[in-house]
Structure 1
Amino acid sequence: MPLSDIQVRNLKPREKPYKASDFEGLFVLVKTNGSKLWQLKYRINGKERLFSIGVYPDVSLAQARKAKEAARANLAAGIDPSEAKQEEKRLRLEAKGQTFEKIGTAFLAKQRKEGKSAATLSKTEYHLKLANRDFGIKPITEITAPMILKTLRTVEAKGNYETAHRLRARIGSIFRYAVASGIAETDPTYALRDALIRPTRVHRAAIIEPKALGRLLLEIDGFDGQAGTRIALKLLAILAQRPAKSGTPYGMNLTLKSGFGRSQRPR
C-alpha cells in the first residue's frame, strides 16, 4: 500500500534500521538515529541495485516519487540511474571549476597564439580585470545578464560609455568562446545590447599625414573582430575621400586617350 506524507513523518527509529515501502521499488530507510533516506530498488543486467534519492524531509514524498519516475525512464532506455547520477555530479563539479576568470585567461592565451597586437592584448587584460573584480570567481554557467549589467553600470556611472560598450563586447567574446568549447550554453550579453547609454560619436578630422595614416592602419591590424570588417576598415582608410571627390579615387580622370569612359558610337 502506498505511503502517505503523514505516515512518513510519523515513522519512528527502532533498535535496528528498517524499511517502509511505497510502491514500484521506492522505500524509505529509517535509521537508528531517526534519519530517513529515500531509496529505490531496481534491477539492471540481471543485478539488483539501490539508487539513493535523498533525505526526508529535504526530499518530500512527491519529490521522491518524481525521482523514481526519472530513474525508471533511464532504466527503460538502458541507462543505470546510479551511474547517470554520478555522471551528473561529475559534470556539475567540473562546471564549478570553469570560472569566468579561468575561461578569460584561456581566451587571452588564444589571442596571444593568434598573434594579436600588444594593444589588443592590453585591452583584453584591462577588460578582464574589470569583469573579474565582480564575478571572476563564479562558474561561468552561473553568471547571468543582471550580474554583468551591474558591472557595466558601474563603468557607465563614471561617464565611460564607450568603455562600457567595449566591456560588454569583450565579455560576450569570452562567453562565445565558452559556448564553442562546450562549457557554456548561451551568451547572456546578447540581452544587454540595448541596455547601455550610447556614446556620442565625435567626427574626427581627416588624416592627411603619412605617419598618422600608418598608426591608423596598425590600429586596424589590432582589431579582433571579423576578418571581413578588418579588411573593410583598411580599404576605407585607403580609399575613402570627401564627397566632392567621390567620383573616382583621388579625383583621377579615367577618360583616357584610348576612349575609355568616352561614349562610343557604332560606325
Structure 2
Amino acid sequence: MALTDTAIRKAKPEAKARRLFDGGGLYLEISPKGGKWWRLKYRHANKEKRLSLGTYPETGLADAREKRATARKLLASGVDPSEHRKAEKAAGVERSANSFEVVAREWHVKQSKAWVEDHASRIMLRLENDVFPWIGAKPIGELSAKELLTTVNRVVARGAIESAHRVLQNCGQVLRYAIATGRSERNPATDLKGALPPVNETHRAAITEPASIAPLLRAIDGYTGAFVTKSALRLAPLLFVRPGELRQAEWSEFDLDAGDWNIPAARMKMRQPHLVPLAPQAIATLRELHALTGRGRYVFPGARSRTRPMSNNAVNAALRRMGFAKDEMTGHGFRAMARTVLDEVLHFRPDYIEHQLAHAVRDPNGRAYNRTAHLTERRKMMSAWADYLDNLRTGGNVVLLRSYA
C-alpha cells in the first residue's frame, strides 16, 4: 500500500533499519536513531542502483513522489538519474537541469567509459574552456545555431581553426545526445556545415623513403643519451605503436618467451585490447632493457621518478638532438614509415598492416577483427619488417633477406 503522511509521522525507529515502501521503487528508510531518508531503487544498464531523494520532514511525501517521477522520466529516456545528478553538481547549482553544461557533462560521463583517459580529459577541457563559459547555462533545447556559431567563432578568432572544428563536433555530439534523451528536438550544429574556415590538412612528419630510413636507424644506434630513451628509439620502428602506448608500456604486459606484447584496452585509443607480436630483434632489446628497469612497473620509467612513465616528449626530443627537425620526423612518424614500406615495398596485405596499427579493421561481414586475427601472418610480417630494417641499417639492398611464406 502507498504511504501516507500520518503513517510516516507515526513510524518509530527499531533496533535495525527499516523501510516503508510507497511503490515505484520509492521507500523511506528509518535508521535506529530515528533519521528518515527517502530512497529510490531502480535498475539501469542491468544494474540495481539507489538514489537518495532527501530527508523527511524537509522532503515531504509529495516532494519525494515528484522526485521519483522526474527520475523515472530520465530512466525512460535512457539516462541514469545518478549520473544526471553528478552532472548537475559538477555544473553548479545555478545551472538548470537541462542546461547545455549539465547535459554535456552527463554525455561525457556516459561516453568516457569507452575512451582512454587522455582523450576524455582533452574533450572536457575543451568544453570547459571554450563552450561552458558562453552557453553552459543555456537550456539545451533553446540553443540556436547563431549562438553556437558565435561560441565556436571565438576559437576561430584566436587562430585555432582545427580546435574550432573539434569544439563544433563535440557540441554536435552533445546535442544529438540531448535529442536522444528527450531534452531537445533538433541539433543546430547541423546548420553550421561549411560555416567554419577549412582546416589546412597537415600530416605528422615521417621518413618513409628507404634511402632516408637507413641514416635514421644508424643515428639511433649512435645515440648517446639515456639508455632508456635509446631503447625506446630502437623499439619505436620495430613495434610502430602509438607514442603513448610505447612510453606507458608495463612489464606485466609482456611475455618475452612467447614473443607477445598484450596492451590492455584501457590504454588503447579504440578501447580494444591489442596484441603486438615481437620480432627477435625487439625481444633482444627488451631483454637488455629488462636488466635495468625490469624490477619496476614501467618499461620506460621517467628520468625523475620510476613510478611514472617517461615524458611524452622524450622520443621527439631525442630525434631533435640527433638532428632530425620536427617537420622531418616525429615519434608518431614511425607508424607512417611502417605502413608505407610494408605496403609499397614489402607488399603485405593492407588489412594485416591496418590491424597491426590497431585501426578499426572489419571483416567482409562488418564485424571487428579480434586481437588475434591473422596472428600467424602478422608474426611473419613483424619479423620480415625487423629483418628489413636490419638490412637497411647495415647498408644492404632494400630487399627481404629470407622468405616468410
TM tier relative to shorter chain: 0.3 to 0.5
Larger RCO, structures 1/2 (Cα 8 Å, 6+ apart)? 2
Normalising by structure 1, we get a TM-score of 0.48
Say which one has the larger Rg. 1
Q: TM-score of the superposition, structure 2-length normalised?
A: 0.33
